[in-house]
Chains A and B, each alone.
Chain A
Amino acid sequence: MRVANRSPRAVIGTGLKYVVGFLACVWMLFPIYWTLTTAFKTREAILGSTPVFVPTLITFEHFRTIFSGSVDIQANILNSVLVAVAAVGIGILIGVPAAYALSRMDVPRKGDIGFWILSTRMAPPLAILIPLVGFYFAAGIGQGLIGLTVTHLLITVPLIIWIVKGFIDDLPDSLEESAMVDGCNRLQALRTVVFPLVAPGVAAAAFIAFIFSWNNYVLALYLTTGESATLPIAVSNSVGTYSIQWGQLGAAVTVTILPPVVLSLLIRNYLVAGMTMGAVKG
Chain B
Amino acid sequence: MASVTIEDVTKMYGSGDGGIVAVSDLDIDIRDGEFVVLVGPSGCGKSTTLRMVAGLESITEGTISIGGEVVNNTEPRDRDIAMVFQNYALYPHMTIRENIGFGLRYSSDLPADERNARVEAAAETMDIEDLLDSKPGQLSGGQRQRVALGRAIVREPQAFLFDEPLSNLDAKLRVKMRTEISRLQSELGVTSIYVTHDQAEAMTMGDRVAVLDGGELQQLAPPQEVYDHPTNRFVAGFIGSPSMDFLETTVERTGEGRILVSRSNETLSYALERSTADRLGIETGSDLTLGVRPEDVDVSGDPADRDRRTSFEATVDVVEPMGSDNFLTLDVGGPESWSARVDSSFVPEEGSQVGVAFDESVLHLFAADGRTLKSKGTGDGSYHGTEAIAA
Q: Tell me, yes or no, whether A and B come into direct contact in the complex with CB atoms closer than 8 A.
A: yes
Interface residues of A (CB under 8 A from B): 172, 174-175, 177-185, 188, 192-193, 196-197
Residue of B nearest to A196 (CB): B93
B141 to A: closest C-beta gap in Å: 15
Contact assessment for A179 and B86 in the assembled complex, using a CB-CB cutoff below 8 Å: no
Question: Is the CB of B83 closer than 8 A to any CB of chain A?
Answer: yes
Residue of A nearest to B92 (CB): A197
CA distance A184 to B91 in the complex (A): 14
Instruction: Kindly list chain B residues whose C-beta atoms are within 8 Å of the C-beta of A174.
Output: 85-87, 89
Contact assessment for B155 and A182 in the assembled complex, using a CB-CB cutoff below 8 Å: yes
User: A184's contact among B55, B56, B89, B106, by CB below 8 Å, is which?
Assistant: B106
Q: A172-B87, A174-B85, A174-B86 are in contact. Are A181 and B77 (CB under 8 A)?
A: yes
User: A178's contact among B89, B93, B105, B108, by CB below 8 Å, is which?
Assistant: B89
Interface residues of B (CB under 8 A from A): 54-56, 75-77, 79, 81-83, 85-87, 89, 91-93, 102-103, 105-108, 151, 155, 161
Q: A181-B76, A182-B107, A185-B75 are in contact. Are A175 and B91 (CB under 8 A)?
A: yes
Contact assessment for A188 and B89 in the assembled complex, using a CB-CB cutoff below 8 Å: no
Instruction: Kindly list chain B residues whose C-beta atoms are within 8 Å of the C-beta of A184.
Output: 77, 106
Given A178-B89, A180-B55, A192-B91, 14 further pairs, Cβ under 8 A: A172-B89, A177-B54, A177-B56, A177-B76, A177-B89, A179-B91, A179-B106, A180-B76, A180-B77, A181-B56, A181-B77, A181-B81, A181-B83, A183-B106
Q: A177-B56, A177-B76, A188-B106 are in contact. Are A182 and B93 (CB under 8 A)?
A: no
CA distance A98 to B108 in the complex (A): 31
CA distance A178 to B83 in the complex (A): 7
Residue of A nearest to B107 (CB): A183
Instruction: Kindly list chain B residues whose C-beta atoms are within 8 Å of the C-beta of A185.
Output: 75, 77
B110 to A: closest C-beta gap in Å: 12
CA distance A90 to B108 in the complex (A): 36
Contact assessment for B102 and A179 in the assembled complex, using a CB-CB cutoff below 8 Å: yes
A198 to B: closest C-beta gap in Å: 11
CA distance A227 to B151 in the complex (A): 60
A261 to B: closest C-beta gap in Å: 30
Instruction: Kindly list chain B residues whose C-beta atoms are within 8 Å of the C-beta of A193.
Output: 91
CA distance A175 to B107 in the complex (A): 16
User: A177's contact among B85, B93, B105, B151, by CB below 8 Å, is which?
Assistant: B85
CA distance A196 to B99 in the complex (A): 14
Instruction: Kindly list chain A residues whose C-beta atoms are within 8 Å of the C-beta of B107.
Output: 182-183
Contact assessment for B54 and A181 in the assembled complex, using a CB-CB cutoff below 8 Å: yes
Instruction: Kindly list chain A residues whose C-beta atoms are within 8 Å of the C-beta of B106.
Output: 179, 182-184, 188, 192
Contact assessment for B75 and A182 in the assembled complex, using a CB-CB cutoff below 8 Å: no
Instruction: Kindly list chain B residues whose C-beta atoms are within 8 Å of the C-beta of A178.
Output: 83, 85, 89, 91
User: A182's contact among B55, B56, B82, by CB below 8 Å, is which?
Assistant: B82
Instruction: Kindly list chain A residues whose C-beta atoms are within 8 Å of the C-beta of B77.
Output: 180-185
Instruction: Kindly list chain B residues whose C-beta atoms are within 8 Å of the C-beta of A180.
Output: 55-56, 75-77
List 6 A-B pairs, minimum CB-CB distance, nearest first: A183-B107, A183-B106, A182-B103, A174-B89, A178-B89, A174-B85
B331 to A: closest C-beta gap in Å: 45
CA distance A192 to B94 in the complex (A): 10
CA distance A196 to B135 in the complex (A): 14
CA distance A100 to B27 in the complex (A): 35
B275 to A: closest C-beta gap in Å: 56
A119 to B: closest C-beta gap in Å: 27
Residue of B nearest to A176 (CB): B89
CA distance A4 to B161 in the complex (A): 66
Contact assessment for B85 and A182 in the assembled complex, using a CB-CB cutoff below 8 Å: no
A3 to B: closest C-beta gap in Å: 43
CA distance A172 to B108 in the complex (A): 26
Please name 28 pairs of A and B residues whose Cβ atoms are closer than 8 Å in the assembled complex, sorted by A. Answer: A172-B87, A174-B85, A174-B86, A174-B89, A175-B89, A177-B56, A177-B76, A177-B85, A178-B85, A179-B91, A179-B102, A181-B54, A181-B56, A181-B77, A181-B81, A181-B82, A181-B83, A181-B103, A182-B77, A182-B103, A183-B103, A183-B106, A184-B77, A185-B75, A185-B77, A193-B91, A196-B93, A197-B92
